[in-house]
Structure 1
């Protein structure tokens, strides 16, 4: 089938190549996402999609003139597929342009708000400085109060420990005194036991001498 732009097969191949090129360009545009250079690429993609749709119009005329029904139905499906893909790319481009326009409007609004904020920035900063100083003073007062409470607690603890040490020292002296007295009593008992033993041994010796002398006297 032939026409002003070539045969149906040639127009179809041109449309397929242009479709692949447009899809890659659209993916590249999505990665740029609001870059300043994206407007030129968006315009180029829009032009290519329009060109694809124009080729679809040409192919639509071609396949309708095919005599064989099987061939006509085959080319009809091919052309419709190209047209659907072109329409899908058009929808994706429109969504991107809508997001881009919304982002530009938001950026403009932020710039206007920033300009208003800059006009009031000195006043706002002064308020923040005063509030920050007040908060710093309150924080310092709380820290001093906490330090005072901690100091009093430490002094109280030291005083309690000193009293406990005094009591422990007194008890230790009492124990030592008690031990000293006990040692004296033990030494006295030991001496008494030794004296008693000497008295016992002396008595036994005297008894033996007395008996021996009595025996000699009788004889």
Structure 2
């Protein structure tokens, strides 16, 4: 893990080349850690993990030194070029650090889960009857919940049937009401027609009587005129 140049010495180009070499070594080490994790069901390699962490710290130190040196470059074009190169190395180092942090978090999670499983198995082996009693109580609780749900479904079905019956009765009453209104309307129309006929008959009678009286008067006048 030793550097070819110390942080306090070497040119910017030499430090950059050293950082690139350490970066490649770090990436390779992290890939080996991930291969071990996936191939071995979560196998951890503490030595390799520590080595990768040390390499990342070394790259970050080199980036700090390069960040100081590129600012001293005279030509602006060269200064901008070195700035981009240093930023790229720093970003890759940060990305590797994030990947290593995620790897450590997964290892920590696996260790915690393994410890909890061991504690659970220990409690189960030490007090099997207690565990079985817990399972029985949970089973009874589930049965009670299922029975309650079934009763609620039956009650709901009964309520829906009653509501449907009420709806049918309401429709029947509406139809009966419409028929009654039709009958009443028909009766009302018949009464109107009868009244109209009676009134017409009375008018006809008055016309007949008036005609008779008029005829008598005319005959009387003719008789008087001829005398």
What's the TM-score, normalizing by structure 1?
0.52
| Match of residue 161, structure 2, among 135, 146, 151 | 151
Distance 1:101 1:133 in 2: 40
1:211 match: secondary structure: helix
The number of equivalent residue pairs is 172
Task: Tell me whether 1:108 sits opposite 2:114 in the alignment.
Answer: yes
C-alpha deviation, 1:24, in angstroms: 4.8
Distance 1:125 1:185 in 2: 89
1:36 match: secondary structure: helix
C-alpha deviation, 1:150, in angstroms: 3.0
Distance 1:170 1:102 in 2: 83
Match of residue 19 from structure 1: 19
Distance 1:156 1:46 in 2: 77
Which structure 2 residue ranges, 5 or more long, are not aligned? 38-43, 60-89
Which structure 1 residue ranges, 5 or more long, are not aligned? 53-84
Distance 2:33 2:109 in 1: 10
2:36 match: secondary structure: coil
Distance 1:98 1:139 in 2: 46
1:101-148 per-position Cα deviation (integer Å, ceiling 9, x unaligned):
64453243244256559877x946665444333211111111111222
- Which range moves more in the overlay, 187-196 or 110-119? 110-119
Match of residue 36 from structure 1: 36
Distance 2:58 2:154 in 1: 79
Are 1:22 and 1:48, in contact at CA under 8 Å, matched by a contact in 2? yes
Are 1:18 and 1:48, in contact at CA under 8 Å, matched by a contact in 2? no
Match of residue 193 from structure 2: 183
Distance 1:46 1:168 in 2: 90
C-alpha deviation, 1:190, in angstroms: 0.5
Cα–Cα, structure 1 residues 18 and 197, in superposed 2: closer, same or farther, change >3 Å? same
Are 1:22 and 1:45, in contact at CA under 8 Å, matched by a contact in 2? no
C-alpha deviation, 1:178, in angstroms: 3.9
Q: Cα RMSD over matched residues?
A: 4.8
C-alpha deviation, 1:193, in angstroms: 0.6
Are 1:34 and 1:100, in contact at CA under 8 Å, matched by a contact in 2? no
Cα–Cα, structure 1 residues 48 and 33, in superposed 2: closer, same or farther, change >3 Å? closer
Superposition map of 1:1-219 within 5 A:
13=14, 16-26=16-26, 36=36, 39=45, 42=49, 45=52, 96=101, 102-103=108-109, 105-113=111-119, 115=121, 123=132, 127-159=137-169, 162-163=172-173, 165-166=175-176, 169-170=179-180, 172-216=182-226, 218=227
Are 2:29 and 2:48, in contact at CA under 8 Å, matched by a contact in 1? yes
